[in-house]
Amino acid sequence: MAGKFNAAYLFGGAAVGAANGLFGGGGGMIAVPVLRAAGKEARASHATAIAVILPACVLSGAVYFFCGLVPLHILLPVAIGVAAGGYFGAKLLPRVSGRTVSLLFAFLMIAAGVKLIV
């Protein structure tokens, strides 16, 4: 049974990396449902998704940078904001119920989808 989960994680990880590389983000929207389907609770799924996104972001970011797609005047202020938001969000996660995290995540995915359509 462990081999089956490893294959699912491998293919799920490949989908996460592909989404992150292609869209410049969004891999977490794949990682969280994959981890939930594997039986992880909501908070652990979100925390693990963030941890596994890091290597994909570093690799994708390096490719984008060397292709000249990263506007450096925007990079620093956005990176500082992302780091601060990530820190405070990670500190908040253990204090929020898994159900609340799932509902907030679902709302964010729906809002992002509506924004893309409109």
Per-residue pLDDT tens over the stretch 7-26: 778 888 888 888 888 887 78
Is residue 1 pLDDT above 80, yes or no? no
CA 30 to chain centre: 8
Q: What pLDDT, on a 0 to 100 scale, did the predictor assign at position 30?
A: 87
The C-alpha angle 102, 19, 50, rounded to 5 degrees, equals 45
pLDDT 10s digits, 35-80: 888 888 989 998 998 888 888 888 888 998 999 999 999 989 998 9
Provide the sign of the torsion angle of the four alpha carbons 54, 37, 112, 68, taken in this order: positive
d(CA 38, CA 32): 10
d(CA 101, CA 36): 12
* Nearest alpha carbon to residue 69 among 78, 60, 79, 77: 60
95-113, pLDDT tens digit by residue?
999 899 989 989 988 998 8
Q: Supply the pTM of this predicted model.
A: 0.71
Query: Which of 23, 65, 68, 27 is closest to 49 using CA atoms?
Result: 27
Contact 54, 94 (CB under 8 A): no
